[in-house]
Structure 1
């Protein structure tokens, strides 16, 4: 089966969310060969999952406004997390049943993808059976939060590449007490670039998912000014 791979670069969270919901609605009416993987970075934003998480904010709304960090409630699983520049975010818009994936298999595959990307720069990451995502020792490197509508997945994974970890210190990330976040840059002691990580992305995707990927430009995906701008 074919799937599209589209790198949107740095894009506002709400714009990416609106695009995801449009693609989910399109995908539910189409057959195999119409799945899409969005690759993005976001300006600084906290998102709250279905279980909430505002209580895990450790700073005031005034402080966040001064830092220009929005707080956005969404319908993915989990509680609060942070997105910012230097974090690789991937949103697969796929019909799980048509791809032959159970929800558990899908989550496991997203974890395997992050483990493989980390290994490309010599970082050994692993699962924690108690908590989804990937870890380096006791430090969390990547997070997963998904939603499924009409059998189609959206939201996805976030892998910390070279972002500032300071904003994670202003929340209780993922609602887990005492969790420290890490990044590929922190683990290697070198400035790992986003291009280093995305260079092997398509190859890893094709090994892990039942798709043959073709890259498309943003205007091929959604020819609206909202995405192009």
Structure 2
């Protein structure tokens, strides 16, 4: 866990469904402002309409199933983006967190483990035991992945992109791709594990509490 820094965290909850292109542009703007110290460390929390994103680890489109045209025919957008990781899905019922923070400890591995810790502590509040896979970034419950993580580090050690926690997500969207390029594990959600939907606002509050706790921000 990172040491307490006694610094503020601004949390921005974007209402409704935020189109991916707009959220990506907002991140770039906030990264610039954070680098210039015009804003404090910031955590964006939002939901996207159905969208598939592909990160820098992808060598080709092989993990996009039947291809971009087919995925778009289902009503989803497709973006090739500048985060780490491979292909994943974002959509309604999923909480996406984009931390725009300046790392005091310049350790990318540690940052990823801390993001996982935020999610592990969050789902523990619902009686679920999350675990880290030794080969893959993210959080698993049982044999299924519940949270995908893919990040970017900009100059000045400013972070962007982040994590996507499946809460009430329609998991059938993941069936059309190979999520994160991982074939041997499935995908799950809080709703599937608990047998009921959860208020997203309740889970968001828990995420904020655990984020501040893990990163030592007030």
Report the TM-score, using the length of structure 2 for normalisation.
0.91
Indicate which of 194, 198, 204 corresponds to 1:188: 194
The residue correspondences of 1:1-150 to structure 2 (distance < 5 A) are 1-9=7-15, 10-30=17-37, 34-52=40-58, 53-97=60-104, 100=105, 102-150=107-155
SS state of the match for residue 115, structure 1? helix
Say whether the 8 Å CA contact 1:8–1:38 is kept in structure 2.
Answer: yes
In structure 2, distance between residues paired with 1:80 and 1:111: 19
Once the two structures are TM-superposed, the CA of residue 172 in structure 1 deviates from its matched residue by: 0.6
1:60 CA displacement: 3.9
Answer whether contact 1:48 1:74 (CA < 8 A) is retained: yes
Cα deviation digits, residues 23-69 of structure 1 (max 9, x gap): 111111218x7111100110000001002252111124443232111
For residue 183 of structure 2, what is the aligned residue in structure 1? 177
Alpha-carbon offset, residue 70 of structure 1: 1.0
**What is the number of residues matched between the two proteins?**
209
CA positional deviation for 1:101: 5.3
Give the one of 164, 167, 183 matched to 1:161. Answer: 167
Gaps of 5+ in 2: 1-6
In the alignment, what sits opposite 2:211? 205
Q: Is this contact kept in 2: 1:46–1:83, CA < 8 A? A: yes
CA RMSD of aligned residues (A): 1.5
Distance, in Å, in 2 between the alignment partners of 1:101 and 1:111 is 17
Q: Which residue of 2 aligns with 1:223?
A: none
Structure 1 runs of 4+ with >6 Å offset: none
Cα distance change on mapping 1:38 and 1:118 into 2, 3 Å: same
8 A Cα contact 1:128 1:134, kept in partner:
yes
Pick which of 35-44 and 202-211 moved more: 202-211
TM-superposed deviation, 1:193:
2.3
